[in-house]
A and B are shown apart, each in its own frame.
Chain A
Amino acid sequence: MNMEWYNSQAAPFLRRFHRRTQALYAGDFPCAANPAGTPDFPAQFPCSYARSHSDPFVQCLVDALYPEVGEAMVQVFDRLGVPLIYPEAQTCCGQPAYNSGHHREAAVAARRFIDLFEDAEAIVCPSGSCVAMVRRHYPELFAHQPIMRERALQVARKTFEFSEYLVDVLGVVDLGAAFSGIATYHDSCHLARTLGIREQPRQLLRHVRGLSLAEMDNSDACCGFGGTFSVNYPEISLALVDDKIDNILNSGTDIVVGCDVSCLMNIRGRMSRRGESLRVLHLAQVLAGEERT
């Protein structure tokens, strides 16, 4: 790590953050990203956060298909000096089963997640849809089991999406990242609508040296993935992803950035079939400054 950068940029941020959390420690810090403002999961930050660990939950798709995204996230945390604890027995948050109505199976995955992560100080995940699952739906899954529900709420309170963690928890928007190109940003549905996280990724992208940001039309229109929907109703799914790709192509950019690998997998898969060479990257990859695809 670049110590000079750390001393001049990251450390002051962390100290400032530390002071901020001291002031807020008295009460609940309403989760900045939750537009619904449900009392279910106001985030609570212990004041020792600056020195506390972060447990990455990388998401099953990242683990299996896009490990470079997980690695990029780790690199970013390294640069910021955030110590990591990785529970390696993690699998899936349960969202595919939940959205398809198979809630018993989703509860199996949820219990596992809660078991694995409830001792964490903070859980950070590079997927908006997983975080939405944990925060909004885990308490619902255990609505009739008070003990599990309480455990779920505790975990929900400390689960953050990657960009949210950087901007709202660590107070960082400039990671000293460099990445050349013109990028457009895709707002994934759960991140933007369920969690209300729209500005944080953009703020981070704006501080990447060499990168300019151009908005596409309908950046928050659904890409058509929808989990099993993409497989069960492929024609409709394709119509939606084609619209998304047309908007991306019309934005005059050479990179599309997102915070959810499910969307990116969908977009990239269709782009590949259409023969488009525009790069599809996760935010972490841009912030890590890696020109990997």
Chain B
Amino acid sequence: MKPAPDGDYVATAREGMGNACLQGSLRSLQARYGKGALDAWKALPDPNLRSRVKARRMQTLAHLDRVLALLSQGVEARGGQVFFADNAEAANGYIRDLARKRGVKRVVKGKSMLSAEIGVDAVLEAEGIEVVETDLGEFIVQIAGSSASHIIAPCIHMDRRQIGRLFANKLGIPYSEDPPTLTQAARKALREKLLTADMGLTGCNIACAETGQISLVSNEGNIRMASTMPKLHVALMGMERVAATLEDQRDLLQLLTQGAALQKLSTYVSFVGGPRREGDPDGPEEFHLVIIDNGRSRILADPEFREVLACIRCGACLNICPVYGRIGGHAYHSPYSGPIGAVVTPLLHGINHHADLCKGETLCGACRDVCPVENDLPRMLVALRRKLAYGDAGWGVRPHNRLEALGFKIWGRIMGNSRLYAAMLTIARALQRPFVGRNGMIGPLPGLQNGWTAGRDLQPMAEQSFRERWRARQNNNPATADNSRETRHGR
């Protein structure tokens, strides 16, 4: 897929909210899969599974250098090749050089958000190489010239009519809006590509250091095809996507398939660690594992954010987030959307640049409840907001909104002094009088308050605050033995 185009969170969110098809699809998706995942965790025979798995993830991350060394040894023992890429350029360079050397003309891809993160498609296409997405949803957004809007269901923002027109146009088939017919058309079109490609480019769901293999998860079979039929298989792996032992891999696998689509297991789970062996009639002749940093070591080094690397990219948080459920994935302008995207995208690609992602949520905590590895995303969003509030040298963050900072400085002064606070109430009460309507509420206001009053009425200050009323009652009703009330006076 193309890397998501850069753009404005608010504007794209508005488009998403206006997309009736998207709204309907997300509503159904969230009703079924978001709630479903919560129910699945409640029904786990071992209620401590997620905590245990999280603890293992953190321990694995704490040993990540040795875990990666062990993984690469295992892959190499199987005849595979491992390349450690510091960043996107290094990864792309390696893949491009490999493609050149082997005379690759056509690449088939399994779904990989990492491939979008590093932008490898454009690099290969610049070499005149045809790059074909084979996951149905990714294929659809690819030929539509769009980008994915959900980690698991990439073309959820499109309806069958749009897809029907797209296929009629690009695949030359008679128009149909029947999903089986459309799927069949894609099946035929992509089969030929899968069987004649020179290179299969996949991601990696969960690698396993103990066994020296990666595991790949799919329902469509495209990833199995892409990793079996072409002569070259290149797997892209974010450096944190590795389990220490096969036990860990199993736990993570089951949490992944449950969290993603409420499945006990996806239709296919493939384990590979090297090229074809002596005596294998098929399988790739070369297997390359490209382990990518691209900003992850910086996240790893910060104890506040390290846990975000425990994420297994199941997408459950997207399926429960009320904000994502309304604005859709494109508003995040990143391959990673939803709550996980809101945290990981600024950390990888710039906190100031993605300030809206840090601030544009309500911190309701549903994502934390549903995360299979118990990631506390709201905590990390607040930490990002703190950096935007004051700046941060380590992460290269400039203070984001001077006006808001000033506002809170003033707020701090007022809240720190009850006389100032009382004075503020008195002033506000006086100022608001002309704006209070007949219904007792304040209607649309220009200027700063417009954020609220554009769509909502505003409750005015009460004529007497609670404190004032309390004082008044105390004066009128002295305390009795049964209902004693004291006032503690203070500054």
- Direct contact, A vs B (beta carbon within 8 Å): yes
1/0 contact string of A43-72 vs chain B (CB within 8 Å): 000000000010100101011111110110
User: Is there an interface contact between A222 and B362, defined as CB atoms closer than 8 Å?
Assistant: yes
Complex formed: what's the CA distance from A179 to B432 in Å? 33
Per the bound structure, the CA–CA distance linking A221 and B325 in Å amounts to: 11
Residues of B within 8 A of A226 (CB): 361-364
Q: How far is the CB of B205 from chain A (nearest CB, A)?
A: 29
Which of chain B's residues have a CB closer than 8 A to the CB of A182? none
The CB with the most chain A CB atoms within 10 A, among B414, B449, B468, B490, is that of B490
B389 touches A (CB below 8 Å): yes
B418 touches A89 (CB 8 A): yes
Cα–Cα distance between A272 and B460 once the two chains are bound (Å) = 13
CB atoms of B13 and A236 under 8 A apart: yes
| B404 at the binding interface (Cβ < 8 Å) | yes
**B342 to A: closest C-beta gap in Å:** 12
Which B residues between 439 and 459 are near A, CB-CB below 8 angstroms? Answer: 439, 441, 443, 449-452, 454-459
CB contact under 8 A between A193 and B365, given known A1-B483, A81-B483, A88-B490: yes
In the complex, what distance in Å separates the CA atom of A223 from the CA atom of B107?
A: 46
For B414, what are the chain A residues with a Cβ–Cβ distance below 8 Å? 91
Q: Which of B362, B405, B456, B486 is the one whose CB lies under 8 Å from A84?
A: B486
B55-63, B86-94, B379-387 - the one binding chain A: B379-387
B462 interface residue per 8 A CB criterion: yes
Choose among A65, A88, A92, A241 the residue that contacts B487 (Cβ–Cβ < 8 A): A88
Q: Does A225 interact with chain B (Cβ within 8 Å)?
A: yes
Q: Which residues of A have CB within 8 Å of B489?
A: 88-89
Asked whether, in the complex, the Cβ of A108 is within 8 Å of the Cβ of B466, the reply is no
Residue interface bits B447-491, CB-to-A below 8 A is 1, else 0: 001111011111111101111111100000000001111111111
Given contacts A71-B469, A109-B416, A112-B415, contact A221 B322 (CB under 8 A): yes
- The bracket for how many chain B residues form the interface is 35 or more
Docked complex Cα distance between A81 and B388 (Å): 48
From 203 to 247 in chain A, residues with beta carbon under 8 angstroms from any chain B beta carbon are 221-222, 224-241, 243
User: Is B17 in contact with chain A by the CB < 8 A criterion?
Assistant: yes
The main secondary structure of chain A at its interface with chain B is: helix
Interchain nearest-CB distance for A53 vs B (Å) = 8
B369 CB–A CB distance under 8 Å: yes
CB proximity to B under 8 Å, residues A159-190: 189-190
Q: Is A269 an interface residue (CB 8 A)?
A: yes
Flag if B469 contacts A105 (CB, 8 Å): no
Q: How far is the CB of A2 from chain B (nearest CB, A)?
A: 11
Chain A residue with Cβ nearest B451: A231
Instruction: Compute how far the CA of A200 lies from the CA of B485 in the bound complex, rounded to whole angstroms.
Output: 26
Residues of A10-30 contacting chain B, CB below 8 A? none
What's the nearest-Cβ distance from chain A to residue B292, in Å? 30
Residue numbers in B under 8 Å from A94 (CB-CB):
415
Contact check, B451 vs A193: say whether CB atoms are below 8 A apart.
Answer: no
Judging by beta carbons under 8 Å apart, are A222 and B471 in contact? no
Q: Are B488 and A230 neighbours in the complex by a CB distance under 8 Å?
A: no
CB <8 Å contact, B412 and A236? no
Which A residues from 106 to 142 make CB contacts under 8 A with B? 108-109, 112, 116
B451, A243: Cβ atoms under 8 Å?
A: no
Known contacts A86-B488, A116-B490; is-contact A100 B408 (Cβ 8 Å): yes
- Give residues of chain A (256-279) contacting chain B, Cβ–Cβ below 8 Å: 265-266, 268-270, 272-273
In the assembled complex, which residues on chain B have CB atoms less than 8 Å from the CB atom of A78?
A: 483
Top 5 closest pairs, chain A to chain B, by CB: A101-B385, A226-B362, A89-B490, A105-B412, A269-B456
Given contacts A78-B483, A91-B415, list 8 more A-B pairs with CB under 8 A.
Answer: A67-B468, A86-B487, A88-B467, A88-B489, A101-B385, A101-B386, A105-B409, A229-B363
30 CB < 8 A contacts A-B: A6-B482, A60-B415, A63-B465, A64-B428, A67-B464, A67-B466, A83-B483, A87-B488, A87-B490, A88-B487, A89-B491, A91-B414, A97-B411, A97-B412, A99-B382, A103-B386, A105-B412, A108-B412, A189-B365, A193-B369, A221-B322, A226-B363, A228-B359, A228-B404, A232-B451, A235-B455, A236-B323, A240-B323, A243-B326, A270-B456
Residue ranges of B at the interface with A (Cβ–Cβ < 8 Å): 10, 13-14, 17, 322-323, 326-327, 359-366, 368-369, 382, 384-390, 404-405, 408-409, 411-412, 414-416, 418, 421, 425, 428, 439, 441, 443, 449-452, 454-462, 464-471, 482-491
